[in-house]
A = this chain, B = another copy of it.
Amino acid sequence: MPKTKVAIVGMGTVGSGVARLLLDHGDRTARHAGRVLWLEKAVVRDLSKARAAELPEGVLTDDLDEVLNDPEITVVAQLIGGLEPARTIMLQLLEAGKDIVTANKALLAEHGPELFERARELGRSIAFEASVAGGIPIITNISQCLSANQTLSLEGILNGTSNFIVTQMDVQGMAYEQAVRLAQEKGYAEADPTMDVDGTDAAQKLAILAHLAFGAHASWADIPRVGIDQLDPEDLRFARELGYRIKLLATAHLDDAGLELHVAPTLVRAGTPLAEVQDAFNAVRVVGDAVGPVFYHGLGAGQMPTASAVVADIIDTAVGRTRLTFQTLELFSPVGPPRVRLRAFDELPGRYYLRLHVDDSPGVLGKITGALGRHNVSIASVIQHEPDDRADRNTVPLVVMTHEAPEGAASGAADQIEALPEVVGNVVRLRVKV
């Protein structure tokens, strides 16, 4: 049986998982690849650091040159996080003739065009299934399995950390800070969870998926995004009362006006599959013009789900499938203009949930409906509860669900409402999944 020599660069959690699959299950990978996948080298920065994975003698090294200068190593799983030295190492590996497998979506989001162009020039490939949605093979599904379709929409819960935190807040009634700490204890959140909870991570993943599914040239930084870091438990409760759950939803919708892209905490109707995604799970719902809706659900992160995606990519690369796919992949492609126009955020249609606290006095509701009316935002339903006691004022919480209106109009109305003297504090405005 032929042999493909493989190296891993970066032996963190995912790298150790990949090593385990390659070392402990060589029969399995050989069966699927039709060749032995031989772990030749595992490159680390610090040899003295303790590691979970037991490696055979001679595999572990802190010298990248042992990979770069070994022409028999043809596939490298580049599993270093962050931007540098990950970027430089990936370029070095490409120059040295290696095909790359990576899980680093931040790197692709920032330097994808440069890396992909270089790979194309050099006749190499970059596989990146593990970079989005962990164990859900959404990259292969969009770029290969659903390739007969024009994708019409894509909605995803793409950040497991955020979903875990929101689930704890929603189901267990935990405070935000407490839920973050639990996520950190369980290894779902970094010491600094900012990129997860502020929507950056989900926007980076959405940018990759939007490239693949729509041929959009979307930079993640241009995707409007709101995280869960400001989410108020009060809104989780009201959403529940209205028959919804709040999820950090990454949304892409195509229509004649162009492509709508955004990441935001969104009210999703309870009982629908996306609303019921719990804990660190991810889910993606894709609608194709031929296939209709397809729904995927799986673990969004974690050592072995991510390693599963990396090793599938290693197999695909060793077999030769990745090279074939990479050639026609609509990702960071310099060829031709984008196939879709990105819609401006203000023009995006949406339904909205508005929650505010108002003085318990006559005429207030009239002023609020007036502000909405002036922006042509019509009201679908209103909940006004009994008075609560907020500090020194006698206020009542008020929730307004609107019919469909452009973001700009809803935002303008919300600003005007917030400026009313009878309104205490901020107006919370969340999107409602249509």
Please give, as numbers and ranges, the residues of chain B lying within 8 Å of A289 by CB-CB distance: 304
Q: Shortest beta-carbon distance, A341 to chain B, in Å?
A: 17
Q: Shortest beta-carbon distance, A129 to chain B, in Å?
A: 7
Please give, as numbers and ranges, the residues of chain B lying within 8 Å of A310 by CB-CB distance: 148
Q: Find out whether the CB atom of A291 lies under 8 angstroms from the CB atom of B319.
A: no
Q: Does A257 contact B (CB under 8 A)?
A: no
Known: A292-B304, A296-B296, A328-B319. A141 touches B145 (CB 8 A): yes
Q: Find out whether the CB atom of B28 lies under 8 angstroms from the CB atom of A148.
A: yes
Please give, as numbers and ranges, the residues of chain B lying within 8 Å of A302 by CB-CB distance: 292
Q: Find out whether the CB atom of A307 lies under 8 angstroms from the CB atom of B319.
A: no
Indicate the member of A33, A141, A143 with the most B CB atoms within 10 Å. Answer: A141
Q: Find out whether the CB atom of B315 lies under 8 angstroms from the CB atom of A325.
A: no
Interface residues as binary, A16-40 with B (CB distance below 8 Å gives 1, 0 otherwise): 0100010001001101111000000
Q: Find out whether the CB atom of A148 lies under 8 angstroms from the CB atom of B316.
A: no
Lowest 4 A-B CB distances belong to which pairs? A137-B145, A148-B311, A290-B308, A32-B147
Q: Does A293 contact B (CB under 8 A)?
A: yes
A interface residues, tally (CB under 8 Å): 58
Docked Cα-Cα span, A135 to B294, in Å, equals 7
- For A316, give the chain B residue with the smallest CB separation: B144
Please give, as numbers and ranges, the residues of chain B lying within 8 Å of A59 by CB-CB distance: none
Q: Does A123 contact B (CB under 8 A)?
A: no
Interface residues as binary, A310-326 with B (CB distance below 8 Å gives 1, 0 otherwise): 11100110011100110
Docked Cα-Cα span, A17 to B289, in Å, equals 12
Q: Shortest beta-carbon distance, A167 to chain B, in Å?
A: 15
Q: Does A299 contact B (CB under 8 A)?
A: yes
Please give, as numbers and ranges, the residues of chain B lying within 8 Å of A141 by CB-CB distance: 137, 140-141, 145
Q: Find out whether the CB atom of B150 lies under 8 angstroms from the CB atom of A145.
A: no
Please give, as numbers and ranges, the residues of chain B lying within 8 Å of A135 by CB-CB distance: 291-292, 294
- Which among B21, B137, B298, B321 is the interface contact of A325 at CB below 8 angstroms? B321
Q: Does A305 contact B (CB under 8 A)?
A: yes
Please give, as numbers and ranges, the residues of chain B lying within 8 Å of A305 by CB-CB distance: 290-292
Query: Could you write out 12 A-B pairs with CB less than 8 Å apart?
Result: A31-B328, A137-B145, A137-B146, A141-B141, A141-B145, A144-B321, A148-B310, A148-B315, A273-B273, A290-B304, A319-B328, A320-B320
Docked Cα-Cα span, A327 to B144, in Å, equals 18
Q: Does A136 contact B (CB under 8 A)?
A: yes
Q: Does A330 contact B (CB under 8 A)?
A: yes
Q: Does A149 contact B (CB under 8 A)?
A: yes
Q: Does A199 contact B (CB under 8 A)?
A: no
Q: Shortest beta-carbon distance, A14 to chain B, in Å?
A: 11
Q: Does A156 contact B (CB under 8 A)?
A: no
Please give, as numbers and ranges, the residues of chain B lying within 8 Å of A299 by CB-CB distance: 291-293
